[in-house]
Chain A
């Protein structure tokens, strides 16, 4: 019998591994992937990853020989990987915090609004900011108290480490430890499915994702925040208060391929992709780095 690896030329580099894992760093450099051309690795937010994945495909198509690997795992991982050099660019679905400004440089590529969602059958048409705080703190736990049906409120919260959670908590000036959640979810789609399947649920998800699912017939509706309707239009014109920038972060001033890709991701050439992924494109002036004021960072 032949050696199992010999029959798969694709696996040949693995034989090098047997020479000793101590040389693996060197071996990575010998791997066929790095010899084919320039490579860029991005990791981070699961909200940004599908968008950047599509932008990367278009960039690759226009620049033969360049490979852009997009990984996911959350904004925290994006910052950690960029900081450790595991990724060339990190992706976060928020702006940089004041304390992160020193280490990272951010480039906004699109905007996303976060909207409160309830089931379509829920008679409640608006919830004030104060009521949201009271509901998430567990002080109000019946829809009746805010003009709804005689049913308990199922509070849907996001899992720790999600930037949607951070933005939500920051806007409503809540601490995560204060939140009395009935359901804890990870991604937007999970939040939409939870609320669509429970007439008494209250949750918050990306407006782009919610608008798409409403158009597809999902039985949910978006509630206004601070009397501003939750639509992609209000996110774009900046009037919607609960919105977040989707940001690419780097540790050093970008050069070469990194810089070229960031420029491409911010350019009008990709606005159709941004819209197709249910996000809101930012115009040239907005795309420049805008540090968040230090007062709101904590």
Chain B
């Protein structure tokens, strides 16, 4: 049918099937996301209030708010990023700039990173439980959780950042060298600002994965919903709180929706903030 019609109507406008297919797929994906978002907005908006954000959870999370959960989530993310960013950017710089003379080694590093990026999070969770919690004796703590997350986020961060550095044209490096800039100077003045979009993509993906993580945290940072006094305390992350309320606490559904909405809003805020920082940084560098 299709071939005959395309032959007979070769002059007239014929439907652009590939474009239609692509549009349909894109619409379906967006619609799925919107469905989830609308569902959470619909059920969660009523829960959201200043009080919800600033009071402690009560009655196994059915009542009260999520203040301690928010603080724990923030601390876990802080520990994770303060370990993952220096290590990740450092490794990316090494892979993209310094390991060119040793392709075999960098290929091995890259391959192991790709495998690590595909490892299910529960495996990271059990690793963190065996290594940070038991071996290093950090116990169930925000520190254990943050470090476990850092291990999980690193491969994503490194690969995205490396792409960022690779995307910088070689002309920039040659130009910097011809101007007599030192290697450090080239890195700081030329490469880092140009690679910023890649770094931000890695960071946003990493934060997204870290904030959404449940399996890796339930065995490491733990389940305690008390306000953490330090990173040595156990603290429940937002994702675990949502999981527990929806799966384990009868009647916790409404609060779970509220917490899910907060998690999504937080992700949007953090992502926009990261892009904003990157843009400012780039503009600042260009303005010099």
Contact B248–A46 (Cβ < 8 Å): yes
The distance from the CB of B158 to the nearest CB of chain A, in whole angstroms, is 20
Q: Name B31-65 residues within 8 Å CB distance of A.
A: 58-61
* Contact A212 B251, CB 8 Å, known A8-B78, A33-B230: yes
List the A side residues contacting B143 at CB < 8 Å. Answer: 14, 17
Contact A73–B219 (Cβ < 8 Å): yes
- A52-70: contact bitstring with B at CB < 8 Å (1 yes, 0 no)? 0110010000000001011
List the A side residues contacting B234 at CB < 8 Å. Answer: 69, 71
| 6 smallest beta-carbon distances between A and B, as pairs | A50-B60, A31-B232, A212-B250, A25-B137, A187-B247, A24-B136
List the A side residues contacting B138 at CB < 8 Å. Answer: 24, 28
Is A177 engaged at the interface, CB distance under 8 Å to the other chain?
A: no
Is A4 engaged at the interface, CB distance under 8 Å to the other chain?
A: yes
User: How far does the alpha carbon of A41 sit from the alpha carbon of B223 in the complex, in Å?
Assistant: 11
Contact A54–B60 (Cβ < 8 Å): yes
Q: Name A197-231 residues within 8 Å CB distance of B.
A: 208-209, 212-213, 216
Contact B231–A14 (Cβ < 8 Å): yes
Is A19 engaged at the interface, CB distance under 8 Å to the other chain?
A: no
Which has the most chain A C-beta neighbours within 10 Å: B60, B222, B248, B250?
B250
The distance from the CB of A267 to the nearest CB of chain B, in whole angstroms, is 19
* Contact A71 B222, CB 8 Å, known A10-B75, A28-B138, A53-B60: yes
Number of interface residues of B (CB under 8 A): 36
The distance from the CB of B63 to the nearest CB of chain A, in whole angstroms, is 10
Contact A28–B229 (Cβ < 8 Å): no
Is A278 engaged at the interface, CB distance under 8 Å to the other chain?
A: yes
Contact B79–A14 (Cβ < 8 Å): yes
User: How far does the alpha carbon of A73 sit from the alpha carbon of B82 in the complex, in Å?
Assistant: 28
List the A side residues contacting B137 at CB < 8 Å. Answer: 24-25, 27-28
Q: What's the interface size class on A, roughly?
A: 35 or more
User: How far does the alpha carbon of A71 sit from the alpha carbon of B222 in the complex, in Å?
Assistant: 6
Q: Identify B231's interface contact among A11, A187, A189, CB under 8 A.
A: A11
Contact B248–A69 (Cβ < 8 Å): no
List the B side residues contacting A13 at CB < 8 Å. Answer: 230-232
* Contact A186 B247, CB 8 Å, known A5-B82, A86-B133: yes
The distance from the CB of A246 to the nearest CB of chain B, in whole angstroms, is 14
Is B174 engaged at the interface, CB distance under 8 Å to the other chain?
A: no
Which has the most chain A C-beta neighbours within 10 Å: B133, B138, B231, B246?
B231
List the B side residues contacting A213 at CB < 8 Å. Answer: 250
Interface of B, secondary structure class, is loop
Q: Identify A71's interface contact among B136, B223, B233, CB under 8 A.
A: B223
Interface set of A (CB-CB < 8 Å, partner B): 4-5, 8, 10-11, 13-14, 17, 21, 24-25, 27-28, 31-33, 36, 41, 43, 46-47, 49-51, 53-54, 57, 67, 69-73, 84, 86, 186-190, 192, 208-209, 212-213, 216, 276-278
User: How far does the alpha carbon of A51 sit from the alpha carbon of B59 in the complex, in Å?
Assistant: 9
Which has the most chain B C-beta neighbours within 10 Å: A27, A31, A209?
A31
List the A side residues contacting B248 at CB < 8 Å. Answer: 46-47, 49-50, 72, 187-189
The distance from the CB of A261 to the nearest CB of chain B, in whole angstroms, is 15
Contact A189–B249 (Cβ < 8 Å): yes
Residue of A nearest to B131 (CB): A21
* Contact A86 B134, CB 8 Å, known A14-B79, A50-B249: yes
- Other A-B pairs, 15, CB within 8 Å; known A24-B137, A53-B225, A86-B134: A10-B231, A14-B231, A25-B136, A28-B138, A32-B232, A33-B229, A47-B248, A49-B223, A50-B60, A69-B140, A186-B247, A188-B247, A188-B248, A189-B247, A216-B250
Q: Name B131-160 residues within 8 Å CB distance of A.
A: 133-134, 136-140, 143
Contact B59–A54 (Cβ < 8 Å): yes
* Contact A72 B223, CB 8 Å, known A5-B82, A278-B250: yes
List the B side residues contacting A41 at CB < 8 Å. Answer: 139-140
Contact B59–A189 (Cβ < 8 Å): no
Contact B218–A10 (Cβ < 8 Å): no
Contact A32–B218 (Cβ < 8 Å): no
List the A side residues contacting B140 at CB < 8 Å. Answer: 41, 43, 69, 71
List the B side residues contacting A47 at CB < 8 Å. Answer: 248
Q: Identify B222's interface contact among A10, A69, A209, CB under 8 A.
A: A69
The distance from the CB of A67 to the nearest CB of chain B, in whole angstroms, is 7
User: How far does the alpha carbon of A188 sit from the alpha carbon of B244 in the complex, in Å?
Assistant: 11
User: How far does the alpha carbon of A94 sit from the alpha carbon of B74 in the complex, in Å?
Assistant: 36
User: How far does the alpha carbon of A5 sit from the alpha carbon of B223 in the complex, in Å?
Assistant: 25
Is B96 engaged at the interface, CB distance under 8 Å to the other chain?
A: no
